[in-house]
């Protein structure tokens, strides 16, 4: 992935049976799950707790490039490219790894924005300073 980024995470997984549809390849919603797993990896690696349940997606876009198949290994790269006062902008790539029938290829890429809405609040608020500090820390950059 090109461009400037704040920090990133890489998550490896596999296409499960539940991720496929009647055509035999991944259902589009599987990409969202792979990306959310990468997001959880990022927050866990940075020691951030309380993020999930306080960071709804407010924008999501994805370009689908090629299918993923049951059992295929998947590598998801998530980049936190912008930290705003009360929003984060992420971009991602989901890659299907090489199999005996398919070369490694990009399956999907996109971008999304989360907003900080503290539990019990009905509007966005600034991110907690410890979260921003953890996400900007050079010592954790992958």
Q: DSSP per residue over 74-123, as a string?
A: EEEEEEEEEE-SSEEEEEEEEEEPP-SS---EEEEEEEEEEE---TT-SS
Confidence of residue 141 (pLDDT cuts 50, 70, 90): very low
72 in Cβ contact with 34 (< 8 Å): no
pLDDT attached to residue 23: 81
- pLDDT higher than 80, residue 2: no
20 in Cβ contact with 93 (< 8 Å): no
User: For 124-135, b where at least 16 C-beta lie within 10 A, e where not — what string?
Assistant: beebeeebbebb
For 5-60, the pLDDT digits (tens) are: 569 999 999 999 999 988 888 989 999 999 999 999 999 999 999 999 999 999 99
- Supply the pTM of this predicted model: 0.88
């Amino acid at each position: 992935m090109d461009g400037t980024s704040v920090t990133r995470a890489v998550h490896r997984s596999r296409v499960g049976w539940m991720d496929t549809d009647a055509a035999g390849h991944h259902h589009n919603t599987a990409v969202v799950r792979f990306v959310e797993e990468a997001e959880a990896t990022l927050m866990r690696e940075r020691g951030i707790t309380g993020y999930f349940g306080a960071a709804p997606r407010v924008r999501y876009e994805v370009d689908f490039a090629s299918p993923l198949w049951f059992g295929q290994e998947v590598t998801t790269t998530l980049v936190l490219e912008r930290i705003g006062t009360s929003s984060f902008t992420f971009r991602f790539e989901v890659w299907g790894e090489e199999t005996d029938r398919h070369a490694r290829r990009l399956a999907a890429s996109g971008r999304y924005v989360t907003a900080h809405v503290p539990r019990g609040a009905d509007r966005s608020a600034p991110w907690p300073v410890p979260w921003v500090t953890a996400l900007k820390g050079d010592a954790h950059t992958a």
